[in-house]
Structure formats: structure tokens, C-alpha cells
Structure 1
């Protein structure tokens, strides 16, 4: 289960203050200007059976415990278990102290994540514009294009616009 903990900033706190504090944390590796990866440095390089997902992206073989992101006036932490959610909440509140408020937590199961992905792909496939409105927009665009063409000088008409050319017997 995916747990997203959203820590709202305390009044008057800026992203810069949070960022500076997070940059001094030993367990966090900056992966962008507003992004960090939380690593299990206690077990770096060791492989434990049942330790969960691990990956090695030049992070000394440490297990990735979660990811943090600053967006707007909140710090979001994503972890993959209830135990990590509890552990990370305590860690962030201890590290940031009065800079953040207690988190709001959203929990999503694997099935919910997959159904959200399916819903997103279905909504992208559907047109947001009803067919009747799309037809009307296309007709208006073509009308404008054709009417505009009547006022453009054409070399075949000796530099005259079609509207001017039809005013004379020669142009007709």
C-alpha cells in the first residue's frame, strides 16, 4: 500500500527553509532542487531477505525507503508501507520541528493505483469536445480561411485579390 504524507508548512515558513534543513539530513539524497530520496543507510550494501524493494542508482546499494517532494506550501513524503509511514512521520517531525504541521495521510492500495491508471488512460482517449461542437468549430475555421483567401493578392490575378478581380469583365 502506498502512503502519501503531506506535511503543511507552519505559518511564515518557506520552501527554502525546509530545503535547507532537508539538505543536512544524512538519510536523504537530493535528486532535484525540490526532491529527495530517503535511504536506509544502516543496511547499505547488505541484502536482507524481505527488506522490500531495493535499487542501486549510485546510492551505495542502500534500500530506498521513500521519496520527498516540495510543492506549494507542503512537503509530501511517499512510502510503501504503514510501518514506514509511522517511522517517516516521526523522522520528519523530529527533523523539521515547528517548520511543519502534522501530516495528512492518503493511503492507496495496488488495485486503486491500477484503476486510477486505467481511468487516466481512458480519459485521455476520449475527446473533451462533443462531436457537434467540433464540427461547428471546424466549419467556422474553414469559413474564416476561405473568406480570408478572397482578400489575399494572387499572382495569377496580376497581384489583385479575388474580390477586386471580379469587379471587372477581364477579371471575371
Structure 2
């Protein structure tokens, strides 16, 4: 495949290394927010790991050039429905996830099962505490929010999540950013 990498931080560099080692061509590396959509014309796909502020614009540029896009950025989901509508309306291709890690997806599966059991035990409360490296751009992370949403869908006494102080019917998410916290090898 001829792949474009949008965002060349830690994840972008890791994607470059893995994709190249598996025989894929890296046709574009775009790390500046003012890149032009023509720079990805003709690519088979783009992989985007940037920031909440850049993600939607990057997605729209890929749509403009009819380049399928995989989005790993989080923090932009307030615009999710708008992006999905645009994607469907114009027959584009979009894959997004708040975390692509196999380990996190197993964690989510196990939490769903645990939440089904815990739904019967009102005397237990749920709180999410997350720790990420200081370079993590969003807080709470998409992973923490997705975890909360999984629990909310399974535990009837919760209707939403909140960052900070506990509120009725809400799962509290506490986010910490600390140095030297590995997010990946």
C-alpha cells in the first residue's frame, strides 16, 4: 500500500517504522497543520495521529482527495456526527477508534463483562483514574471516555461521566499526566 502519515510524533514514527518493515510505501509524511490536500492525492490510505484541534480538518482533506483515512486522534468527538454524515453522504472511507491497542480492547471487553455483574451490586461505585505521559494531548483521554461509556451502557445507575468531583448517576474520571509514563514500547 501507498500510505500517508498525518502527524509525525511518537505514533507517526512508530507507524512509519512498522508499515515500512511490512513492505508498505510511505508516500507522504505530513506534520504541519497547513498541509494541502493535494499532497495526499493518489494514496491508498492515510493514518492520522495529530491533535484534537487538527483532526477534523485532516479528515476533511482526506475526504476531498477520496483517500481512506484511519484516525487515531482523540478529543475531536464533539464533531463526530458531522464527520460521519459527511463521510456517508459522499461515500468516503473512515475508521476511527479511541485506542487501537489489542490490550486495551481486551481490557474493554473484560470491563463490559465485569460491569454486567456489578450492575446487580448498587453498593459499589465506579471511578476511573488514568495516568498518561505529559505529552498526551487530550484529558481525559479517549480511552478513559470509551471505558466510561462501556460501563455506562452496562450499569443502569450511571447515565454519564464527569471529570473531577463525583456527581449522582455519573462515573468520575480523574486524569493525571506524569513524566516517564510509557504509553507504548
TM bucket, shorter chain: under 0.3
Asked which structure has the greater RCO (Cα within 8 Å, sep 6+), the reply is: 1
